[in-house]
Amino acid sequence: MMIMRQYCHFCEELKFLIQSDCNLNHKNMKIALLLFAFTIFLIPTIASADVIPDNWLTIPICTKIENINLFPDYTFILFNQTPFDSRYLIVKQNECFDIKKSEHPELFAIKKTDFKLSDIGENTVARNKYFKTNPKLIKSDLLFYPSIYAPTSDPRSAITDILTIQTISDAKLNIIHSKAINYYVGGTSAELPYDQRLNFWPEPTIFDQIEHYSKSAFYFLLPIMALGGIIFLVIKNKKTI
Amino acid sequence: MTSLIIALALTITLEFLIAWALLRRTPLKLFIYSVLINCFTLPIAIYIYTHYQPQDSYHSQHLLLYFSLEFIVFAVEIPLWWLLTKIKLPKAIILSFLANLVTSLIGKFI
């Protein structure tokens, strides 16, 4: 009853607030609707901002581990956490997994005797907790290569990145990039050892740099500019009084 | 990056609509205020939320961080709406509360 009364009081207050400052006319209504429509149409436009231009293409990278079967006592799990989601994959020998551009996955090994799939949990929070707190998980420091952008003139159609497990101790999973295979548009392929990787994974492209700088701009530059705009408007408002 | 921009665009739109429904002022001005206020608060809030999540990922700790940040954003936005629109302080509190309630609930549960 008390809550209902408070709610009614709140509604009355809102009604009063709206009525007391109501100077809306048809022109304003039209402007508001246009702005709303503009914002709604802006969203898919922004969403397509990450799409690469016509004269560039994405070369997918298939990453796989070639010697999992030499470690039959272990299960290997790839865990990927993004700001809004997380997922995992039980990795099998020579099975491809691809890394998306914005992903930074981690590879873990765990003794089969310590592993129960149901322990991981079904939601993001449970999964994050499992992978961050489980002392039985053995982590690797390996960095994965995501799919790359390249000009359409690039002869490669796909790349396979082959990983090799070297050792597993209680503290560390030691795994390396051992070689890469380039697949070319004409159907041929070439295998190169990892020390020639620079031929395969070039320096960050302009799109990687744009992604990096746009995130920095979003987190730091945008608030500073907005604060500057707010201060400017407040000072301007005070001067006009 | 796209998801960050979409989150920002949606928050700006929602807060603008709530401010416009509540204040019935010139929409263009309210839209600009909404853009400025959210461009100031949202990137910082997202940065803190994504970079300072608790290591022990208990659901309650995540919720606590999320709603603590929302509360801070609500508190910061009160003087901003108040200064920019020159409305009375109680009205600014109601506006900031409603705007952040709607956007935080949408952000968390949808």
Tokens of A115: 């592993």
What is the band of A35 on the pLDDT scale with cuts at 50, 70, 90? Answer: low
Tell me how crowded residue A206 is: count the other CB atoms within 10 A of its CB: 9
**A130-147 pLDDT, tens digit each:** 998 899 999 998 888 877
The complex's ipTM works out to: 0.84
Q: Is A12 on the interface with B (CB under 8 A)?
A: no
Contact B4 A225 (CB under 8 A): no
Q: Specify the pLDDT at position A17.
A: 40
Per-residue confidence at B55, pLDDT binned at 50, 70, 90?
very low
Q: Higher pLDDT residue, A220 or A43? A: A220
Interface subset of A 158-177, CB within 8 angstroms of B: none
Contact A196, A179 (CB under 8 A): no
- Could B40 and A226 be called an inter-chain contact, meaning their C-beta atoms sit closer than 8 Å? yes
The residue among A11, A22, A35, A131 with the most chain B CBs within 10 A of its CB, best to mutate, is A35
* pLDDT confidence of residue B46: 80
Does residue A107 register a pLDDT over 90? yes
pLDDT in tens, B5-21: 777 888 888 888 888 88
- Interatomic CA distance for residues A230 and A228, integer angstroms: 5
Q: Where are the domains of chain A?
A: 61-206
> Mean pLDDT over residues A70-74, rounded?
93
pTM (two decimals): 0.48
Interchain CB distance below 8 Å, A223 and B43: yes
